Amino acid sequence: MKDNKRVVYWLLTGGMLIFIMVVVGGITRLTHSGLSISNYKLISGTIPPMNEVEWQEAFDLYKQYPEYQKLNTHFDLEDFKDIYFWEWLHRVIGRFIGLVFILPFLYFLLRKQLTRPTLRKCLILLGLGAFQGFLGWYMVKSGLVDRPDVSHYRLAMHLTTAFITFAYTLWVALDLIYPTRKQVQKGFRNLIRWGYAFLLLQIIYGAFVAGLDAGWIHNHWPLMSDGKLIHETVTIEQNPVWKNFVEGKSGVQFVHRYLAYVVTGFIGIIWYRGKRIASTMLQKSALNSLLGLVGIQFLLGVFTLLYQVPVVLGVLHQVVAFFLLASMTFTLHRFSK
């Protein structure tokens, strides 16, 4: 039997591992651990330093790059071990995900347990996974030349591709779990798609905020600065002006804040209109989870900002963004023909 339950379990397991990968990646970013491993070894890199000599060699290598030379000259070996752990774990999980996707795929392929449509979708998934690995290397490389941090553009590509890979994995699994769907209004389906697009844009800007450390300024809400109007708090530093909204800390946080209102508004409208046309319990549950998650995410964003991005709140904010994208994907699937 093709496209059986084992294929579904495989896809869902892959999705769960991507979720874990994103959580560890968030911790890696928030603890500034991402540049601790400056050499890329696909196979041997899975084994961390095993003795003091190897640790010292890794630390000496780290000292040759900008992050140590410009930010962390006070680090001793124990400090280095702390940041090394998170980046090492992040890379090991990435390699493990590759094996989890590739080996079962080859098994299902040889056993002819994949239909042609599912096979095509799985090939896309493998391509997304390979591209995600490349983007991880490409991102780290940007912080090893002359600046002690990675490019926020490359960080956004790396994070967004992880979210998209997860969403597509979930979609393929949902296609197998629910092979038939009811016809729904085209206008409502397009509304969900617009909401989905704005949610992805918000995820990109969340990565911009993280990459520029823009959450450590304007730690007030609802105003960006205590006692001042919101529009007066965006510091114009660059020419042309539009660059402030993709490269300036104030401008990026400004966009991220207001996109939160837009995404919340879209989901509120989706929920309100969807309740009128939902005909199944799954559709109703999808709408309710969407509304609940966006409310939680909005509050987490506010508190993360007010408390100046503590690691716990920062990671929770990213985790709920992941759940929100999953819920939006499920909602779109349930209201698609």
Tens of pLDDT, residue by residue over 197-216, are: 999 999 999 999 998 999 99
* pLDDT number for residue 11: 95
Confidence category of residue 187, pLDDT binned at 50, 70, 90: confident
Q: Which residue has the tokens 């929770």?
A: 316
Percent of the chain with pLDDT over 90: 51
Higher confidence at residue 233 or residue 180?
Answer: 180
Confidence category of residue 232, pLDDT binned at 50, 70, 90: very low
* pLDDT number for residue 59: 87
Of 276, 290, 301, nearest to 330 by C-alpha is: 290
pLDDT of 183 above 80: no
* pLDDT number for residue 82: 87
**Is-contact 318 23, C-beta < 8 A?**
yes
**Is-contact 68 75, C-beta < 8 A?**
yes
pLDDT of 148 above 80: no
Return the SS3 of 48.
Answer: coil
Tell me how many degrees the CA angle 261-312-317 measures, rounded to the nearest 5.
20
Of 93, 38, 27, nearest to 60 by C-alpha is: 38
**Gap between the Cα atoms of 216 and 152, Å rounded:** 15
Of 61, 65, 66, 63, nearest to 49 by C-alpha is: 61
pLDDT of 143 above 70: yes
Of 134, 191, 170, 219, nearest to 322 by C-alpha is: 170
Task: Tell me what the mean pLDDT of segment 66-91 comes to.
Answer: 87
Alpha-carbon distance values, 304 to 106, 243, 267, 308 (Å): 43, 25, 21, 6
DSSP 162: H
* pLDDT number for residue 224: 84
The model's pTM? 0.90
Task: Tell me what the mean pLDDT of segment 107-135 comes to.
Answer: 91
* pLDDT number for residue 325: 97
Length of the chain, in residues: 337
**Gap between the Cα atoms of 318 and 313, Å rounded:** 9
**Gap between the Cα atoms of 266 and 5, Å rounded:** 35
Which are the contacts of 284, defined by CB distance < 8 A and separation ≥ 6?
A: 275, 278
The structure tokens listed for 87 are 């980046």
The tens digit of pLDDT for each residue in 153-178 reads 999 999 999 999 999 999 999 999 98
Backbone angles phi, psi at 176, to 5 degrees: -80, -35
**Gap between the Cα atoms of 123 and 107, Å rounded:** 14
Q: Which residue has the tokens 């970013």?
A: 29
The structure tokens listed for 135 are 């983007």
CB neighbours of residue 221 within 10 Å: 12
Which are the contacts of 58, defined by CB distance < 8 A and separation ≥ 6?
A: 37, 49, 80, 84
Q: 35-44, 116-125, 250-259, 280-289 — which is least confidently predicted?
A: 35-44
DSSP 42: T
Confidence category of residue 227, pLDDT binned at 50, 70, 90: very low
* pLDDT number for residue 2: 66
